[in-house]
């Protein structure tokens, strides 16, 4: 299936991308792809190093006569988000991504594609393997575990990189030069709840919300897509105004940085109220399908009797948990006052698991400004502490403060106008890039982020645009050739 992708232009990019996608590389399971990259550098005869955390650095000398150019660090992350459609049979731990071409797009068969950040990694590999490019000294930095904690960037040894400029190739819109990004922090609330035997007159029902679009919890949060966890908690509060509906289990979402696409649950209800509850589910489905008709047109609810369970949540704990989930913040909190249309602060209710006497709720909060990030984190903390939950925070990383006077920005603006015939869009994004973190230990680097067009990252609808990838490669080559000399 992926063979046709290898014939796309530029072949050097698409073949490296195809090679990379044959290697399982989920976050925190990156040993194989790290070894793949070590083997790649060593086979080229280039200096290749891996640090203790799993970052890989490959160094390529300058083209003869260009040794006085400023040193360039080409940077991308090796891991990818693993998401698949519910009906897709696929083992991310053993199988390579199955790609195909659909018009001007490369897509994957029912899974994430890995273009985030595989195309950026493939571009760096193309520079390293090419014998006819003109460039100054090159360092290619392939970081570990970007998607679930920025672990590689956070643990870079001070002074490990010797270059002057860092080109992060993890931006997903052609024509955009990114000079800033949001920081983030993870929050987890844990609550031990009580259960009791289900009365004989109560029946067990399966209640599932599926078909949501999902997407990147940073780049897509402003699109107002449905969050399966929020929709189910909303319905449970509504249902309990009419009946005694008890939770048995609740499992929604999977990754902290992906908008939850589906949730499955078991509930109990007095059998005498089953028909009325079924009617309420149907009515609610109609309401939310209308609300989300433009963002999640395939949204639907499954509701049916299920095999009887032995216990359900006590009434007191049931109301505590569903009310807390219903009240939990989710989505855009504040828009930026510096960039039109840019989200400043948001949070994603990414994961809910309620079963076997324990509730776990996970959030990823993002902000380009530190104080609102902490404020929203504290609001979540306060809410769940009110029901007696234990709340913990971790994985905090800083934003990347824009520098409109950056020298590499000035250079790339000029090159962009020459190459594309138009001015680039200079912006910041509401997603996590590693630039701000890397700057803490490599302060000499002047940084910018750019890349080809990728849509729907972190979802099985992820796709990479073919024409922009070809132009991205041409633009990158010209940048490397025209990088200024050292002073």
In whole angstroms, what is the distance from residue 175 CA to residue 167 CA? 15
Q: Give me the pLDDT at residue 255, please.
A: 84
Query: CATH fold of 185-397, please?
Result: Alpha-Beta Plaits (3.30.70)
Tell me whether strands 331-335 and 343-355 are parallel, antiparallel or unpaired.
antiparallel
Average pLDDT over residues 320-348: 94
Average pLDDT value for the chain: 96
* Given 30, 139, 145, 146, the catalytic residue: 146
Q: What is the tens place of the pLDDT at every residue in 172-187?
A: 999 999 999 999 999 9
H or E element in which residue 427 lies = strand 425-429
Q: Give me the pLDDT at residue 9, please.
A: 97
Q: Give me the pLDDT at residue 432, please.
A: 81
Average pLDDT over residues 410-432: 94
Q: What is the tens place of the pLDDT at every residue in 278-303?
A: 999 999 999 999 999 999 999 999 99
Average pLDDT over residues 254-260: 89
Q: What is the tens place of the pLDDT at every residue in 194-212?
A: 999 999 999 999 999 999 9
Helix (H, G, I), strand (E, B) or coil at 193: coil
Q: Which of 466, 460, 456, 459 is nearest to 103 (CA)?
A: 466
Contact 262, 86 (CB under 8 A): yes
* Given 30, 79, 170, 296, the catalytic residue: 79
- Tell whether the model's pLDDT for residue 460 goes beyond 90: yes
Domain boundaries, the chain: 3-181+399-482, 185-397
Q: Give me the pLDDT at residue 254, please.
A: 85
- Tell whether the model's pLDDT for residue 1 goes beyond 70: no
The class level of CATH for 3-181+399-482 reads alpha beta
Catalytic annotation present for 362:
no
Q: Give me the pLDDT at residue 86, please.
A: 79
Percent of the chain with pLDDT over 70: 100
Catalytic annotation present for 79:
yes
Q: What is the tens place of the pLDDT at every residue in 64-101?
A: 999 999 999 999 999 999 989 878 999 999 999 999 99
């Amino acid at each position: 299936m992926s063979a046709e992708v290898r014939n796309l232009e530029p072949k050097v990019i698409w073949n490296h991308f195809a090679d990379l996608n044959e290697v399982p590389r989920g976050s925190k399971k990156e040993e194989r792809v790290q070894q793949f990259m070590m083997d790649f550098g060593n086979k080229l005869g280039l200096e290749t190093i891996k640090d203790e955390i799993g970052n890989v650095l490959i160094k390529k000398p300058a083209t003869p006569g260009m040794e006085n150019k400023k040193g360039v660090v080409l940077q991308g992350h090796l891991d990818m988000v693993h998401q698949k459609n519910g009906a897709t049979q696929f083992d991310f731990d053993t199988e390579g991504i199955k790609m195909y071409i659909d018009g001007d797009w490369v897509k994957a068969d029912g899974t994430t594609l890995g273009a985030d950040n595989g195309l950026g990694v493939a571009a760096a590999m193309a520079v390293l393997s090419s014998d006819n490019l003109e460039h100054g000294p090159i360092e290619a930095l392939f970081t570990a575990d970007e998607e679930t904690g920025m672990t590689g960037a956070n643990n870079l040894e001070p002074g490990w990189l010797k270059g002057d400029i860092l080109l992060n190739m993890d931006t997903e819109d052609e024509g955009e030069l990114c000079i800033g990004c949001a920081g983030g922090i993870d929050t987890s609330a844990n609550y031990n709840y009580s259960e009791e035997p289900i009365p004989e007159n109560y029946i067990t029902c399966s209640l599932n919300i599926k078909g949501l679009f999902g997407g990147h919890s940073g780049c897509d949060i402003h699109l107002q897509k449905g969050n399966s966890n929020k929709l189910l908690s909303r319905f449970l509060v509504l249902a309990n105004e009419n009946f005694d509906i008890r939770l048995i289990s609740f499992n929604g979402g999977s990754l902290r940085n992906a908008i939850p696409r589906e949730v499955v649950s078991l509930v109990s209800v007095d059998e005498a109220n089953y028909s009325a509850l079924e009617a309420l589910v149907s009515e609610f489905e109609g309401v939310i399908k209308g609300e989300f008709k433009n963002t999640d047109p395939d949204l639907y609810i499954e509701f049916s009797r299920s095999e009887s369970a032995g216990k359900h949540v006590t009434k007191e704990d049931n109301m505590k948990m569903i009310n807390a989930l219903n009240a939990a913040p989710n989505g855009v909190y504040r828009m930026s006052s510096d960039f039109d249309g840019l989200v400043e602060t948001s949070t994603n209710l990414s994961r809910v698991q309620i079963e076997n006497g324990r509730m776990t709720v996970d959030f990823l909060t993002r902000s380009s400004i530190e104080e609102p990030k902490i404020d929203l984190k504290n609001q979540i903390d306060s809410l769940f502490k009110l029901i007696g939950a234990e709340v913990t925070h971790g994985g905090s990383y800083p934003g990347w403060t824009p520098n409109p006077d950056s020298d590499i920005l000035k250079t790339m603006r000029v090159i962009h106008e020459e190459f594309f015939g138009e001015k680039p869009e200079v912006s910041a994004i509401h997603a996590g890039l590693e630039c701000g973190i890397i700057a803490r230990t490599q302060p000499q680097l002047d940084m910018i982020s750019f890349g080809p067009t990728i849509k729907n990252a972190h979802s099985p609808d992820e796709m990479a645009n073919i024409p922009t990838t070809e132009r991205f490669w041409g633009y990158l080559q010209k940048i490397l050739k025209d990088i200024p000399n050292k002073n």
